[in-house]
Chain A
Amino acid sequence: MHWIDGIVQGVLLGGLYAQYALGMALMFGVMKIVNVTHGDLVVLLALIGISLANVAGLGPWAVLATLVPIGAALGWLLQRALLNRVVGNDPLPSLIATFGLSIALQNAMLVIWSADTRSLSGGGIQQASISLGPIFVGVLPLIVLICATLLTGGLDLTMRRTRFGRSLRAASADVEAAAMVGVNPRNVYAAATAIAVGILGFAATFQAMRSTVAPADGPFQLIFAFEAVIIGGLGSIWGAFAGAMILGISQAIGFRISPGFGILAGHLVFLAVLAIRPQGIFQRRA
């Protein structure tokens, strides 16, 4: 029972990681860049949300409804002002530019919000749980998992079925050819980053409700998102979702073996996947 409970908790944790990972998979798939501020943006949005809840008295769902558009706007701005200048074959400029921004952002948050850990009150929902047979499942983690599933499904359908998704895939396959048939790469890129950071609005709200956030947490969330994407397989939206589940389960089981081993277990599974199936578990060999 101990282990089954571990797996269930791991899947629920994976729901949160999936929300981190989707945006990263989307951005790398379309632009081949990694935004090092990915995790810091989760923290920034969460801290904005907590401040909104304290100052304007917003409830958790109102915070969520505010953070998603704020995230989308931030993403659009980030792409327009910065990332569009560094997209290209050379990974160095985008990596270093966002790396520098990440340090600046973490310390700016430290100045504004101090190093305290904060969390968002959910009005009792954090304590609520339901029993599935002998296992108790928190209502909030369940909502997070359902949300993650819907976001993944929605993003996957958008990519496959809509005109916008087609232009994203075209820009991802060959940006010059896409430009020739009327896709404006800069607009497509800005929309992709807006979606990616908009999804982080969900991640930020749930992270702040489930546990705590502090300005220095960003790198960990970046790393978890990255591990989920690599475990699942590059460029696949459902792969990132499944990778997040595997990462969550690895960490939850690791924590049950020894509290100091949880996060490390996730890293080890990531390295093992790189060693055995570098293309990711859910990606067919090219």
Chain B
Amino acid sequence: MSKYRVARMTLSGRVALVLFTAALVGICAMPWWASQGLIRDVVTLACYIAVAQMWNMLAGYGGVVSVGQQAFVGVAAYAMFVLAQTFGVNPFLAVFLSLLAPAILAVPIYGLLHRLEGAYFAIGTWVVAEALRLVATNMPMLNGGAGMSLRVMTQFSAHERAVASSLLAAALLLVTLGGSYLLLRSRYGIALTAMRDNPVAAASQGVDVGRLRLLIFIATAVGTGFAGAVYFMAQLRITPPSAFDANWANLAIFIVMVGGIGSLEGVIIGAVIYFFADRWFGEYGASYLIVLGLLTLVCALYFRGGIWGLWSKWVEAPWFPTRRRLIRLDGDKA
């Protein structure tokens, strides 16, 4: 009788892990080698990747579709502005403290909305985001529709701000991408994958689907909020329409659908495509957005796996392997 062992890591996975670590180190060291403009671009790209990956975890694994993730972007960003600007908390500490806001808010939002069936849940999240935008517009403490500026940042030198932005961007990627990777490799990952494939069957195997969905909703709210706080710290200015901009949901959905839902690799590919598309074709405004919308539509109809799904059919080389393979110890692959 042969003995077996479970393997998850692949050669491509090891190479990708080295590259991912190198990229994070490179991002941390940006103030010493990159221009201000490049740092800004990397922070923006990191925010896109984070928001998209959080939506991917929610929709691609949790089976919970939301079109109102901008609610958490805005709430965390505003919490950070209030803590830093109004209460004088150190802005970099405020970024992390502000993550409590989306975490606390996610619980009642999920509690209310999970009573709605599938597609109605999604529209419900949109209503919540709209309601929060209007609350922010009407709140004197947040300076209403005029928005707030992060004037406290002037106490730091440009170099200090660059160091903070770079470290925050690296932390954001580490938490959202690295965190998702670790989660998917753990036993929770098996439960999530089972739930993605068939919630009823997963429940019958002992997965507490309701509880897991609530937890993933809270976790992705925090990750999305993290991206919001980092993004608006770099912007130095926030208004209700920009903080609760539906475009956050648009870009997350575009990135995940085009890159490939249910994979970490797809999010990176999609985010890079979106970033450069926005850079190169953004000037065409409406026509560019028509193409973006139609691409999302086509992917939802015909290419459910997106670009990564098509690529994986040709090349079996995952960057973030989460599948478990059975290996026979006498050398032959089973």
Enumerate chain A interface residues (CB-CB to B < 8 A): 28, 32-34, 36, 82, 85-86, 90-97, 99-108, 110-111, 219, 222-223, 226-227, 230, 234, 258, 260-261, 263-264, 267-268, 270-271, 274-275, 278
Residues in B whose Cβ lies below 8 Å from that of A270: 127
Q: Are A95 and B297 in contact (CB under 8 A)?
A: no
Enumerate chain B interface residues (CB-CB to A < 8 A): 59, 63, 65, 67, 112-113, 115-124, 126-128, 130-131, 134-135, 137-138, 246, 250, 253-254, 257, 285-287, 289-301, 304
Q: Are B289 and A104 in contact (CB under 8 A)?
A: yes
Residues in A whose Cβ lies below 8 Å from that of B137: 260
Residue of B nearest to A265 (CB): B134
Q: For B65, give its contact among A32, A95, A100 (CB under 8 Å).
A: A95
A-B residue pairs in contact (CB < 8 Å), sample of 18: A34-B122, A85-B301, A91-B118, A91-B119, A95-B118, A96-B297, A100-B294, A100-B299, A101-B293, A104-B292, A104-B293, A107-B285, A108-B286, A111-B287, A219-B246, A264-B131, A271-B112, A278-B116
Q: Nearest Cβ in chain A — how far from B139, in angstroms?
A: 10
Residues in B whose Cβ lies below 8 Å from that of A86: 300-301
Q: For B120, give its contact among A100, A226, A264, A271 (CB under 8 Å).
A: A226
Q: Are A34 and B135 in contact (CB under 8 A)?
A: no
Residues in A whose Cβ lies below 8 Å from that of B297: 82, 96-97, 100-101, 104
Residues in A whose Cβ lies below 8 Å from that of B113: 274
Residue of B nearest to A225 (CB): B123
Interface SS of chain A: helix
Inter-chain CA distance A275–B297, complex, in Å, is 33
Residue of B nearest to A226 (CB): B123
Q: Nearest Cβ in chain B — how far from A259, in angstroms?
A: 10
Inter-chain CA distance A95–B63, complex, in Å, is 13
Q: Are A275 and B112 in contact (CB under 8 A)?
A: yes
Q: Are A267 and B301 in contact (CB under 8 A)?
A: no
- A100-B296, A223-B123 known; A230 and B116 CB under 8 Å? yes
Extra contacts besides A100-B294, A223-B130 (9): CB < 8 Å: A91-B65, A91-B118, A91-B119, A99-B67, A100-B292, A223-B126, A226-B127, A234-B120, A258-B138
Q: Are A32 and B253 in contact (CB under 8 A)?
A: no
Q: Nearest Cβ in chain B — how far from A196, in angstroms?
A: 15
Q: Are A94 and B119 in contact (CB under 8 A)?
A: yes
Inter-chain CA distance A100–B253, complex, in Å, is 9
Q: For A28, give its contact among B63, B120, B293, B299 (CB under 8 Å).
A: B120
Instruction: Report how many A-B pairs have Cβ atoms within 8 Å.
Output: 142
Inter-chain CA distance A258–B296, complex, in Å, is 39
Q: Are B290 and A107 in contact (CB under 8 A)?
A: yes
Residues in A whose Cβ lies below 8 Å from that of B65: 91-92, 95-96
Q: Are B127 and A227 in contact (CB under 8 A)?
A: yes
Inter-chain CA distance A275–B115, complex, in Å, is 9
Inter-chain CA distance A261–B113, complex, in Å, is 22
Q: For B296, give its contact among A32, A99, A227 (CB under 8 Å).
A: A99
Residues in B whose Cβ lies below 8 Å from that of A223: 123, 126-127, 130
Residues in B whose Cβ lies below 8 Å from that of A28: 119-120
Q: Are A274 and B112 in contact (CB under 8 A)?
A: yes
Residues in B whose Cβ lies below 8 Å from that of A94: 119
Q: Are B293 and A91 in contact (CB under 8 A)?
A: no
Q: Are A104 and B294 in contact (CB under 8 A)?
A: yes
Residues in B whose Cβ lies below 8 Å from that of A105: 293
Most chain B Cβ neighbours within 10 Å, of A36, A222, A260, A264: A264
Q: Are B293 and A97 in contact (CB under 8 A)?
A: no
Inter-chain CA distance A275–B109, complex, in Å, is 10
- A97-B297, A99-B253, A100-B293 known; A222 and B123 CB under 8 Å? yes
Inter-chain CA distance A230–B124, complex, in Å, is 10
Q: Are B126 and A264 in contact (CB under 8 A)?
A: no
Inter-chain CA distance A91–B119, complex, in Å, is 5
Residue of A nearest to B121 (CB): A91
Residues in A whose Cβ lies below 8 Å from that of B291: 104
Inter-chain CA distance A162–B43, complex, in Å, is 60
Inter-chain CA distance A81–B290, complex, in Å, is 18
Residue of B nearest to A114 (CB): B286
Inter-chain CA distance A218–B120, complex, in Å, is 17
Q: Are A264 and B134 in contact (CB under 8 A)?
A: yes
Residue of B nearest to A109 (CB): B286
Residue of B nearest to A103 (CB): B293
Q: For A260, give its contact among B117, B130, B138 (CB under 8 Å).
A: B138
Q: Are B59 and A110 in contact (CB under 8 A)?
A: no
Q: Are A34 and B120 in contact (CB under 8 A)?
A: yes
Residues in A whose Cβ lies below 8 Å from that of B286: 107-108, 110-111
- A111-B286, A219-B126, A267-B131 known; A96 and B119 CB under 8 Å? no
Residues in A whose Cβ lies below 8 Å from that of B298: 100
The 7 closest A-B pairs by CB, nearest first: A91-B118, A100-B296, A104-B293, A103-B293, A100-B297, A278-B115, A267-B131
